[in-house]
């Protein structure tokens, strides 16, 4: 949100209603306005679990995540306009937010990829992404003393319900129980995601460039996880297969996706953004079945349908193109 001048208009009551979650700029048009960049990033993020599973056998899961973050984080920082000067132009409180956001970014791959190794692509992705909007809504309420909108609450409830059915579907069908440690790790990944989405959204809403914010958050996180990569690096990183996996995770699912995500946060509340990215579990689940041979029973596919309805309800509200008064 570059400025607050629009809040002085006659539409102030409507702006204040949405300000509890964000202050989108409704007059902004073009392909990068609205949910499109976030949904595009979510589709690409849905490939991360499958891509990481294609690394050479025996590769530590945390090492894969750390390598992708180091590459993607450095690319984001080095190519971000204003990224190097951002910490100097921030207030003391904003610098603390940058540190918190970098810690949260670093925590995501170190918990998510081990969760994938323990629970499978579909389950880990669904738990992490299904928990993120819930965490985001609660944290926003606690830190801003604001209540989520009815539309967000309804759409998120439907999406999380769909995720839950998807996760528990194999157990309903008599499959093996879900790994509890993997579930906990995936939940921590969801919390990390919610924290850095809220931090990034808040800094962008204060007028800082989205590219600079994402660059500093991910550049800082890259430095934080660099010791993990150095400690766990091995011959796998020098193989063609290992290098291609890291290149894809770093350049596509980190660099490209978070550029899109940061752009989306300029026009979309962090809580709404985390709900929209629940598209990722659907993509991950389908890829897990098609590419990796994982199996999902019929009840899980029903959960995916409910998830899709929640996303559509939030991203494309009825009459969204019409504005009364």
Please write the tens of the pLDDT for every residue from 262-297.
888 888 887 788 888 877 777 777 777 777 677 777
Closest CA to 296 of 42, 129, 123: 123
User: What is the pLDDT at residue 149?
Assistant: 77
Spatial CB neighbours of 3, under 8 Å, sequence gap ≥ 6: 207
Please write the tens of the pLDDT for every residue from 203-242.
988 889 888 999 999 999 999 999 988 887 778 888 899 8
Checking if the pLDDT of 147 tops 80, the result is: no
Checking if the pLDDT of 315 tops 70, the result is: no
pTM: 0.73
- Give residue 317's pLDDT band: very low, low, confident or very high (50, 70, 90): low
User: What is the pLDDT at residue 324?
Assistant: 41
């Amino acid at each position: 949100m570059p400025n607050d001048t629009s809040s002085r208009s006659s539409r102030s009551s409507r702006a204040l209603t949405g300000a509890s979650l964000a202050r989108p700029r409704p007059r902004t048009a073009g392909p990068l306005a609205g949910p499109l960049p976030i949904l595009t990033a979510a589709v690409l993020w849905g490939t991360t679990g499958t891509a990481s599973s294609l690394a050479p056998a025996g590769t530590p899961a945390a090492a894969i995540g750390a390598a992708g973050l180091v590459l993607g984080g450095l690319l984001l920082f080095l190519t971000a306009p204003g990224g190097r000067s951002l910490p100097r132009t921030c207030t003391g409180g904003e610098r603390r937010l940058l540190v918190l956001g970098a810690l949260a970014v670093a925590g995501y791959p170190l918990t998510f990829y081990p969760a994938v190794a323990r629970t499978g692509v579909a389950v880990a992705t669904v738990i992490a992404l299904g928990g993120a909007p819930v965490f985001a809504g609660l944290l926003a309420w606690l830190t801003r003393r604001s209540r989520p909108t009815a539309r967000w609450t309804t759409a998120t409830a439907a999406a999380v319900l769909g995720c839950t059915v998807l996760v528990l579907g194999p157990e309903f069908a008599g499959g093996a129980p879900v790994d509890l440690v993997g579930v906990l790790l995936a939940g921590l990944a969801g919390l990390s995601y919610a924290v850095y989405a809220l931090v990034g959204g808040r800094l962008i809403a204060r007028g800082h460039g989205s590219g600079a914010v994402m660059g500093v958050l991910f550049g800082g996180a890259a430095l934080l996880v660099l010791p993990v990569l150095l400690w766990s690096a091995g011959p796998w990183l020098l193989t063609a297969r290992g290098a291609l996996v890291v290149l894809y995770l770093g350049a596509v699912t980190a660099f490209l996706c978070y550029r899109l995500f940061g752009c989306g946060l300029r026009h979309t509340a962090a809580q709404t953004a985390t709900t929209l990215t629940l598209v990722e579990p659907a993509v991950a689940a389908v890829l897990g079945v098609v590419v990796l041979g994982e199996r999902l029973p019929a009840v899980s596919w029903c959960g995916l349908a409910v998830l899709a309805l929640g996303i559509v309800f939030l991203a494309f509200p009825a009459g969204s193109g019409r504005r009364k008064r």
